[in-house]
Copies of this chain bind each other. A is one copy, B any other.
Amino acid sequence: MLSQKYQAMLNKKSAIMELSALAHARAQEIGEENVFDFSLGNPSVPAPKAYNARIIELLQQADINHVHSYSPDMGVLEAREKIAASLNRRFGMQYDAGDIVITAGAAGALAYAIRLVTSPGDEVLTFAPFFPEYAPYTELAGRRLCVVPARCADFQIDFDALERVMNARVQAVIVNTPCNPSGVVYAEETLSHLAEFLTAKEREYGHEIWLISDEPYREILFDGQKQPYVSAFYARTLSCYSFSKSLSVPGDRVGYLAVNPACGQSKLLARMAVQVSRGIGHDSTAGIVQRAAADCCDVTADFSVYARNMNLLYDELVKLGFEVVRPGGTFYMFPRAMERDAAAFCTKAARYDLILVPGDTFGVPGYFRIAYCTTEDKVRRSLEKWRELVKKEY
């Protein structure tokens, strides 16, 4: 019989997908260039030339067969060595290849991490606003997602709210910094305070609590900001990284899980990840992609357009009277809507061909997300629409 579980999921609507469909339909009418589709977080800048060149080089080398053969089950060794060396050099860590498992993007790494350090029935905690896929990631693995309400003043962690939501069933905590959808970078104090909090709770509950750090936006930072490396604050951290945004290759499905060796069980967890992989379809990515990504792990695509777009939108929205926390990175912004019902606000915005996502999707009603991974020209041309929206509707 067909699985009831997966069949039932088809009835749940995705606000983002519906908006994207709306944008697409409108584009058919008035031309794609006239629809300001800020709904999808799909990187728009080209991949670094070195990345494409490396794949081509791999395919043109003499021992061609080698590049298509099975990768070792944790991923290509040289790729894992390069990733470990880069993380050590950049963030003062102590990884070796045995702590790194190559995955199908950050989503693949999260699928491993959740299964490694929690069991069915356990709770996994995260902070609003949060990437909505955390719900299916945890629930389809038989875990329960519990959400700490947002601190809307700056989208750092609300530790009073955390204290209220925290309970002994929580075995893992997911953080996402820089954050989708707020663009906010967790400050050092936030991460230190979180580490202290988790350490105290471990003692109180008498069991380990693992930190799962989802960091696909780690390299996209504005105004010279630095992203403190989450794992450096808390030994029991599983870092879930993706090259999707840093190299602008989301379709290539490549990332990694890095287990902090300071936890004392990193080699065990990495070997366990291979067992998880057996159960979910041996989902590592192509060896040529693994090698090229690792060879480029110290370079990024040119993100300057994201910074320019952020500044253009931030300045205009503030001028128009929006409450906005200035993003420290990513290509997202999460302003407060001009009315309580963010869905109603987004419906009005759509009349001006501004396609936005209501904050309810991210666990924060009354706010909305702008994904500005588009051209600067489009963002500039959208400013007049924002002005019209506010002038005529509010």
Q: A residues bordering B, Cβ < 8 Å?
A: 1-7, 9-10, 42-47, 52, 55-56, 59-60, 64-65, 67-71, 103-105, 107-112, 115-119, 133, 136-137, 139-141, 171, 207-208, 248-254, 265, 268-269, 271-272, 275-276, 278-289
Contacts and interface: CB of A to CB of B under 8 A. Distances in A.
A278 B67 contact: no
| Interface of A (DSSP majority class) | helix
Contacts of A42: 69-70
Given A116-B2, A286-B251, A286-B254, A55 B55 contact: yes
Contacts of A43: 69
Nearest to A73: B17
B252 A286 contact: yes
Q: How many copies does the complex hold?
A: 2
Contact of A133 (B171, B248, B278): B278
28 contacts: A2-B269, A3-B272, A4-B119, A6-B272, A6-B276, A9-B272, A10-B272, A42-B69, A47-B65, A52-B64, A56-B60, A70-B251, A71-B251, A104-B284, A107-B282, A108-B282, A109-B281, A133-B278, A136-B275, A140-B276, A141-B279, A251-B286, A252-B286, A252-B288, A253-B282, A253-B284, A283-B283, A286-B289
B283 A253 contact: yes
Nearest to A288: B252
A10 B46 contact: no
Contacts of A251: 67-71, 286-288
A283 B280 contact: yes
A115 B69 contact: no
